[in-house]
């Protein structure tokens, strides 16, 4: 019998919480290790953690592992992080 490997990021026992300071209002925003960022509950500003390489950027099973909605959010965030500030068009 072959044991199937599981993504360690998919195991809720491995998720940790970090406090990140909002760049706008300086409130503490709790981010979990499976999140790249979220909106500040105090002012609504987008708060992102420092760029950390994610397996979802290169793993062929990322969409299946994260689920369609979270994978779509991840892809959108990655695209926004790569923009140089100029607008196309």
Q: Is residue 1 part of a domain?
A: no
pLDDT tier at 83, thresholds 50, 70, 90:
very low
What is the chain's mean pLDDT, rounded? 76
Predicted confidence (pLDDT) at residue 80 exceeds the cutoff of 70: no
Q: What is the pTM of this model?
A: 0.46
Burial zone of 47 (CB within 10 Å; 0-12 exposed, 13-18 middle, 19+ buried):
buried
What is the rounded CA–CA span in Å between residue 39 and residue 20? 11
Reported as a single tens digit per residue, the pLDDT across 35-78 is: 888 999 999 999 987 765 567 777 888 888 888 888 888 888 77
66 in the same domain as 40: no
Question: What pLDDT does residue 86 have?
Answer: 40
29 in the same domain as 44: yes
State the total domains in the chain: 2
16 in the same domain as 46: yes
Q: Is residue 7 part of a domain?
A: no
∠ CA 12-18-20, nearest 5°, is: 140
Decide: helix, strand or coil at residue 20.
strand
- Its domain, for residue 76, covers 53-83
Question: What pLDDT does residue 29 have?
Answer: 94
């Amino acid at each position: 019998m072959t044991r199937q490997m599981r993504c360690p990021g998919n195991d809720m026992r491995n998720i940790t919480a970090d406090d990140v300071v909002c760049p706008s209002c300086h409130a503490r925003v709790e981010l979990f290790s499976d999140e790249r960022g979220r909106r500040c509950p105090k002012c609504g500003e987008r708060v992102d953690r420092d760029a950390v390489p994610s397996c979802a950027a290169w793993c062929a099973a990322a969409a299946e592992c994260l689920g369609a909605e979270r994978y779509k959010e991840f892809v959108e965030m990655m695209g926004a992080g790569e923009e140089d500030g100029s607008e196309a068009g």
